[in-house]
């Protein structure tokens, strides 16, 4: 994919992310203290680094599974139509499920994924999102746990991409077009 020339400006440092992930993991661990075995569902690909760090801080027995959903259309605007590209391997009926998302923007992706998962009758389902853009929301979905509320900027890093680039940045940065 071709992109306009751009540079990235650090928005959230690796240190700040690590501290926030640790705090989230403490809250999540105490919330699920009585749960038999939590199923942590990572939404690919953007959540892969977040989920890896988060589960290592959880003081709980967990299973990890993945799902990939994709919006149609171009890379910066949600088309409000969502496809499942990769489904879970495991069953979630009667289980406690924690869906882990990188960013909640309009909310269409998450809403669609939650609707699909609800038809499988999990016992309880909650969402943990690393980033939230409240000003962009077009649906009524909310994440129970949010790492950071951010302004309406296109961000990359810590697993999150722009046209498949910059996922390997250790921090979160805002994309700034230069050309
Ligand atoms: P939504 O359906 O509009 O909520 O879009 C959510 C998905 O769009 C996220 O899971 C990301 O994959 C992608 N997305 C939204 N904002 C950004 C961004 O700032 N950078 C990279 N991807 C984003
Ligand atoms: Mg995504």
173 within a domain of the structure (yes/no): no
pLDDT tens for 93-143 read 999 999 999 999 999 999 999 999 999 999 999 999 999 999 999 999 999
168 within a domain of the structure (yes/no): no
Residue 98 CA, ligand 2 centroid: distance in Å: 16
Residue closest to 84 by CA, chosen among 39, 49, 115: 115
Tell me what pLDDT residue 82 has.
Answer: 83
1 within a domain of the structure (yes/no): no
> What domain range is 95 assigned to?
13-153
pLDDT tens for 11-70 read 999 999 999 999 999 999 999 999 988 999 999 999 999 999 999 999 999 999 999 998
The answer to whether 105 is a known catalytic residue is: yes
CATH number at residue 125: 3.40.50.2020
Q: Whose CA is nearest to atom 23 of ligand 1?
A: 103
**Domain count along the chain:** 1
110 within a domain of the structure (yes/no): yes
Alpha helices in 12-158 (DSSP H): 14-31, 48-57, 108-118
138 within a domain of the structure (yes/no): yes
């Amino acid at each position: 994919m071709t992109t306009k020339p751009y540079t990235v400006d650090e928005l959230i440092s690796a240190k700040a992310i690590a501290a926030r992930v640790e705090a989230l993991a403490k809250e999540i661990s105490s919330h699920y203290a009585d749960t038999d075995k939590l199923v942590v569902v990572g939404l690919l690909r953007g959540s892969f680094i977040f989920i890896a760090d988060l589960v290592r801080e959880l003081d709980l027995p967990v299973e990890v599974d993945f799902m990939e959903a994709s919006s149609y259309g171009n890379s910066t605007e949600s088309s409000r139509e969502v496809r499942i590209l990769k489904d879970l391997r495991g069953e979630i009926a009667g289980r406690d499920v924690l869906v882990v998302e990188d960013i909640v923007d309009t909310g269409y992706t998450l809403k669609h994924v939650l609707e699909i998962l609800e038809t499988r009758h999990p016992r309880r389902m909650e969402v943990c999102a690393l980033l939230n853009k409240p000003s962009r929301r077009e649906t009524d979905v909310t994440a129970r746990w949010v790492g950071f509320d951010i302004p309406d900027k296109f961000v990359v890093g810590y697993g999150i991409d722009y046209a498949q680039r910059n996922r390997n940045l250790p921090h979160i940065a805002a994309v700034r077009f230069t050309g």
